[in-house]
Chains A and B, each alone.
Chain A
Amino acid sequence: MAVAWIGNRETLVERAAAHAAALLGSSRCPVFSLDTDIHGTRAAIALAERVGAAYDHVDGAVVSRETALFTDKGAMTVAPGETRRRADVVVIVGELPQIHHEFVGELSATVPDLSAPDLSAKNQREIFLVGSNGTSAPPLSNGRTATLLSCGEASLGATLAALRAQWKGRQTSQPVSNFDDFTKALEAAHFPVFLFSGDATEGLALEMLQGLITDLNRKSRASGLHLPASENGWGSALASTWMTGFPLRTGFARGFPEFDPWRYDVARMIAAGEADLHLRISSSIVQPQKKQTRKNRMALIALAKTQEPIAGAAVTIAIGEAGVDHEAVVYSGRTGSLRSIDARAASELPSAATVIRLVASHVSAEAALPC
């Protein structure tokens, strides 16, 4: 099976890596977009430093929203395991990504085993959903439905603001539906937990949610469970933070890392024609390169799980999928930390980290890469 191409021409991986390195070496504004495991991220950041690239997640806007909650505001959070063991009231904030639906279902099918809460005659956790009328909750066990807390068609942020205001006894222009049930549940609760993600929740809504959690903690306990929209994205953000001091949307254009969530928004840099080379690292499907225009003459180097060259890419190198083709370390929303996973169907496809290091070995430098 061919695993590397220069343009549409099959070639050796070594030769494709050398060609990719030459493109990176001659690029004036290279950008990387990542959807990879921890070691793929580490290798990519080390390469980014060497070639002066900026890097971001492939779905950078969502990860950036979650990152901004921490860089700009801070948060009160709780571990997933503690949520399972302690949360007697679960509040789903907006629509959650599919990858976390199973855990929400598990929460609805189990009861806390810590702090012996009074679960009333139902013997189950109370589950609420904050959102507009059309917001849907993940499937719950036994056909249960979450109690909707909404202000009609108001945005999630506006609904959370109304919820917070009503909780503090203030007037709102539109009352939150089922607020009395919510109040009753919170007053009886030992440890309510709000499940949130940056997927469908804008930044101000995330801040408003944290304000509500802070208010609740003045007299009792509550916290938020961060369920990242992209587990790879959050893992990359963590690795970037320890390696450079900064999360994703960091660039090495001036030889040292600079974090700027607007300037190093890789999607924006590509759309604006600032980038002249795009290294995309993702074992998932890669979109064909858009036709080059006078404004956008950007070349694409694609590291993807593919059996054929990516249309329009200057270089394509096939990589394996973390946890499928090779063992890996990934972020797990289920444990709230990094996890080592075995290969489910080990193959000879190289990991992203292996290929990136191969590319880096062809970039001239005085020192070996640190990872």
Chain B
Amino acid sequence: MLTKIAGGDIIDPVNGRLGKGDLWIRDDKIVAAPAGGAAERTIDAAGCIVMAGAIDIHSHIGGGNVNTARLLLPEQHAAHQARPATTPLSNAGWSTFQTGCLYAKMGFTTVVEPAMSPGAALHTHLELADIPIIDKATLAILGNDDFLLSMIRDDASSQMIEDYVAWTVASTRALGVKVINAGAAAAFKENVRTFSLDDVVPSYGVSSRKIVKTLQAAVDSLGVPHPLHVHCNNLGSPGSADTAAATIAAAEGLPLHLAHLQFYGYGTEGKRRFSSAAARLAELVNATPEVTIDIGQVMFGQTVTVSSDVMRQFSARGSAQPKKSVIHDGDGNGGGVVPYSYGKDFYGTMQWAIGLELFLLIDDPWRVFFTTDHPNGAPFTAYPALFELLMSREARTEMIAGLPKSAMALSTLAAVDREYTFEEIAIMTRAAPAKLLGLSDRGHLGAGAIADIAVYRRNWSIAKMLGQAAYVFKDGDLVVQDGEITHYRWGKALRLNPSPDKAMVRRLEDYHQQRYGLSLDWFNFPDSAIAREQPFGEVACRT
């Protein structure tokens, strides 16, 4: 089918298209305007802006820890309305089905679950497969697993480590690799309670820094498009900005992505010894071109923190609200689920302000990514309000007026004038994520791109405008109209597929037999186990 999206304001920074024009779709792809072609369907986009479908690089939407959070908190997501007949299960509380629908309504068409435990890969992919409409991807967690730590301890060759990383990525159907508080989960099992970049994992004699550097090199050498995705040590601690600064410095010229930097933007000034170090971190990021970051913005209200940083989650149990939590020692990382409510008190305000400072003080929208670390800083449903705060100084000023002055005095936010433009929003939420993940087929509106398109009707309220898309196309299917789902479909999980080394597979088979008393077959699965047609889409590694 040939479709014309007519007369919208097109914002496509990748192809330098900015201004009123038409956009053409043939079936599932964007095409150049056909000579004399007559559209079979015309979408009137007058008064609208037209962008590529948005991409979220870090949102905990599925997998063991997320599901445990749902299980822990049935009271937090009671369904409140009858289902529309055309969207089965999509109003089912905090479910996979609702996740896909809510993202699509905001114009998001690809979302990355950033923390998949390799041993729970099948579970994760089954959940992702039940998220409708959008494409998904996931990052495999390494860096607390005995196999890797033992190899590093024993000075295994870089080739062997790359073979292991490649096998993990391939067998778990991942799009990249994440390391979470490298070494800390292993240390926590040996009763270590705090762990920094140069601390050493007991029994292995390997430092956190060494683990990060080893994985960074392996990911780069394998040509994994997405740089190593790092959840640093000391998340949430006063003074954690020092850890983040040390980790940024450790990039040493190779690409490195730091997740949810807001949670490390904490200094130790003021009488509470908790202050904003955002300006310092922003300066470091600006000066370190090989580093990219996402924010993990905090928004006020109830949420639940879900993390494979089991040491940090254990230490946060006392602040659980409501007072219950789950702490799991997994084969590698494990994880923790601690419900939490961000109040408009000194600490909550400080966190809120630090996130916004980072957004606004980091100059390059190609290197800063739009996330709330869903659900850790806030549910992703807070995105429209966050867009408004980034694009409107007035909205920030109004908000600041109702917040504790003691907190704002320790932040530079009130003095920041910058307002994000739509072009910068298009870079930060479309073009840059596609580049960072190696997804050349999306994030822009050039001919040949898949037809993932979001059309927003202009409105005085940025939150309303970007919260309910006028039209959303996914692979050329019109899936949202006037903020409502019009077509239910199933996306794919995007994955890399490096060829695993046969000797490494044999070695891993022996390892699993000896250590777990189980064959590797217990952890592998065929694509057919997902029970969807074409559950995966393959992405190429860099050559």
A contacts, CB < 8 Å to B = 38-39, 42, 45-46, 49-50, 67, 70-79, 81-82, 84-86, 106, 110, 113-116, 190-191, 217, 220-221, 223, 237-239, 241-247, 254-259, 327, 329, 332, 334-340, 353, 365-371
For the complex, is B330 an interface residue (Cβ under 8 Å from A)? yes
Contacting residue for A85 out of B73, B123, B320, B515, CB 8 A: B515
Q: Which of A245, A335, A340, A370 has the most CB of B within 10 A?
A: A245
Residues A258 and B79 in contact in the complex (CB < 8 Å), given A70-B68, A70-B71, A221-B189: yes
CA distance A73 to B330 in the complex (A): 20
Q: Smallest CB–CB gap between A207 and chain B, Å?
A: 11
Q: B residues bordering A, Cβ < 8 Å?
A: 62, 64, 66-68, 70-74, 77-83, 85-89, 91-98, 119-120, 122-123, 126-127, 130, 132, 146, 188-191, 202-203, 314, 320, 324-331, 334, 337, 488, 515-518, 522-526, 528-529, 531
Contacts of A106 in B (CB 8 A): 517
Task: List the A residue with the shortest CB-CB distance to B325.
Answer: A74
CA distance A85 to B320 in the complex (A): 30
Contact yes or no, A332 B522, CB < 8 A: yes
Is there contact, CB below 8 Å, between A71 and B71?
A: yes
Q: In the complex the two chains form, is B130's CB within 8 Å of A42's CB?
A: yes
Compute the total of residue contacts between A and B using a CB distance below 8 Å.
197
Sample (15) of A-B pairs whose CB atoms are under 8 Å apart: A38-B126, A67-B71, A78-B328, A79-B328, A190-B190, A221-B190, A242-B66, A242-B67, A244-B92, A245-B77, A255-B82, A337-B122, A338-B123, A340-B524, A367-B85
Q: Which residues of B contact A366 (CB under 8 A)?
A: 85-86
Note all chain B residues with C-beta closer than 8 A to A191: 189
Asked, given contacts A67-B71, A70-B72, A243-B96, whether A334 binds B518 with beta carbons under 8 Å apart, the answer is yes
A70 close to B326 (CB less than 8 A) = yes
Distance, CA A332 to CA B72, complexed state (A): 21
* Cα A84 to Cα B329 with chains together (Å): 13
- Which residues of B have CB within 8 Å of A256? 79-83, 91-92
Which B residues are in CB contact (< 8 Å) with A73?
324
What 3 A-B pairs are tightest by C-beta distance, nearest first? A245-B93, A340-B525, A74-B324
- Residue ID in chain B nearest A71 by CB atoms: B74
Contact B203 A114 (CB under 8 A): yes
Task: Return the contact of A257 from the options B93, B203, B522 (Cβ within 8 A).
Answer: B93
CB distance from A89 to the nearest CB of B (A): 14
Q: Which residues of A contact B94 (CB under 8 A)?
A: 245
Which residue of chain A is the closest to B129 with respect to CB atoms? A371
Q: Tell me whether B518 and A340 are in contact (CB under 8 A).
A: no
Give Cα A247 to B87, complex, Å: 21
B138 CB to closest chain A CB, in angstroms?
A: 14
Contacts of A241 on B, CB cut-off 8 Å?
67, 70-71
Q: With A116-B203, A334-B522, A335-B119 as given contacts, are A49 and B83 in contact (CB-CB < 8 Å)?
A: yes
Q: Is the CB of B126 within 8 A of A77?
A: no
Cα distance, A78 to B127, chains bound together (Å): 22
**Cβ of A82 and Cβ of B95 under 8 Å apart?**
no
Q: Which of B119, B326, B525 contacts A81 (CB 8 A)?
A: B119
With A73-B324, A369-B88 known to touch, is A114 a contact of B146 (CB < 8 Å)?
yes
Q: Which residues on A sit within 8 Å (CB–CB) of B326?
A: 70, 74-77
| List of A residues within 8 angstroms of B126 by Cβ | 38, 239, 242, 329, 338
- With most chain A CB atoms within 10 A of its CB, the pick from B70, B83, B98, B132 is B70
Chain A residues closer than 8 Å to B122, beta-carbon distance: 329, 337-340
B89 and A243 contact, CB distance less than 8 A: yes
- Closest A residue to B64 by beta carbon equals A337
Additional pairs, 18, CB under 8 Å, beyond known A245-B95, A246-B74, A365-B85: A38-B126, A46-B88, A49-B88, A75-B327, A77-B328, A78-B328, A81-B119, A81-B516, A84-B515, A114-B189, A217-B314, A220-B191, A241-B67, A242-B96, A243-B95, A258-B78, A329-B525, A368-B88
- With a CB–CB cut-off of 8 A, which chain B residues contact A70? 68, 71-72, 326
A184 to B329, CA, bound (A): 24
Please determine whether B74 and A259 come into contact, CB atoms closer than 8 angstroms: yes
Q: Does B82 lie within 8 Å of A84, measured CB to CB?
A: no
Given contacts A72-B324, A256-B82, A337-B120, contact A77 B329 (CB under 8 A): yes
A70 and chain B: residue at smallest CB distance:
B71
Q: Chain B nearest CB: distance from A139 CB in Å?
A: 17
Question: A338 CA to B128 CA in the complex, in Å?
Answer: 14
Contact A84 B516 (CB under 8 A): yes
> What A residues does B329 contact at CB under 8 A?
77-79, 82, 223
Task: Give the CA-CA distance A116 to B190 in the complex, in Å.
Answer: 10
Shortest CB distance B315–A (Å): 11
Q: How far is the CA of A70 from the CA of B328 in the complex (A)?
A: 12
Q: Nearest Cβ distance between residue B100 and chain A, in whole angstroms?
A: 10
Residues on the A chain within 8 Å of B524, using CB: 340
Q: Are A353 and B531 in contact (CB under 8 A)?
A: yes
